[in-house]
Amino acid sequence: MAISSIREKNQYSSLFGVARKKNDIQQKQGMSMRRLEHEQRTQNSSNSIVGQSISYADQLRAERNKAKKTSNEKKKLQYNFKKISSQIIRSKKSTTAKSAVQCAKREVRRLERLKSNEDYDETEVQLALDHAKSMEKVAKKKVLHLEQEEMIERNGKGLAVDIDEVREEKDGEDDK
């Protein structure tokens, strides 16, 4: 009898559990949305410490992976190719052209330092370095030309006068 009574009790308790679940579902359906949301929050808060620690660990892991990916990427080179060239074009006197030469020299030195740094893409740095060197040469030529023009204006004579004198001498020698 003892075995049959235990089975009867298990069946009764399982039937009672099913009935209880049905009753809970019916009650929840009759509840307002506000009440359901409150119950969900209280259930989440009971699991929140574990859930929060897991989500925090996942966030940290994602941030570390992202940091590793970005650290492997090369930095973007900060080089404005228009800066020096526009400074050269704007210079109307030899003094301003000299300052453009100095700016170009500084940029070349900065890029040479960055070339030895492995944080930047080598080809990008090399292209910028080549451009800065060519701008330095152009700026030096501009300085020479502007100095010649200023000398011509100060003396009143120009190269054109010297060239005419040379031509006249050649013509005189050819006539003889």
Beta bridge partners of 120: 75
> What's at 114, amino acid-wise?
L
**Is 90 exceeded by the pLDDT of residue 161?**
no
Gap between the Cα atoms of 9 and 5, Å rounded: 6
> For 128, what's the count of Cα atoms within 13 Å in the CB-facing half-sphere?
26
**Is 90 exceeded by the pLDDT of residue 4?**
no
CA distances from 111 to 21, 75, 114, 119, 135 (A): 74, 14, 5, 13, 13
Q: Which of 96, 80, 78, 76 is nearest to 88 (CA)?
A: 96
Gap between the Cα atoms of 111 and 130, Å rounded: 10
Burial tier of 22 (Cβ tally within 10 Å: 0-12, 13-18, 19+): exposed
Quote the mean pLDDT of the chain. Answer: 77
Q: Which of 118, 119, 114, 148 is nearest to 132 (CA)?
A: 114
Gap between the Cα atoms of 137 and 163, Å rounded: 27
pLDDT tens digits for 32-51? Answer: 777 777 776 666 655 567 77
pLDDT tens digits for 47-104? Answer: 567 777 777 788 788 888 777 666 567 778 888 889 999 999 999 999 999 999 999 9
Q: What is the pTM of this model?
A: 0.49
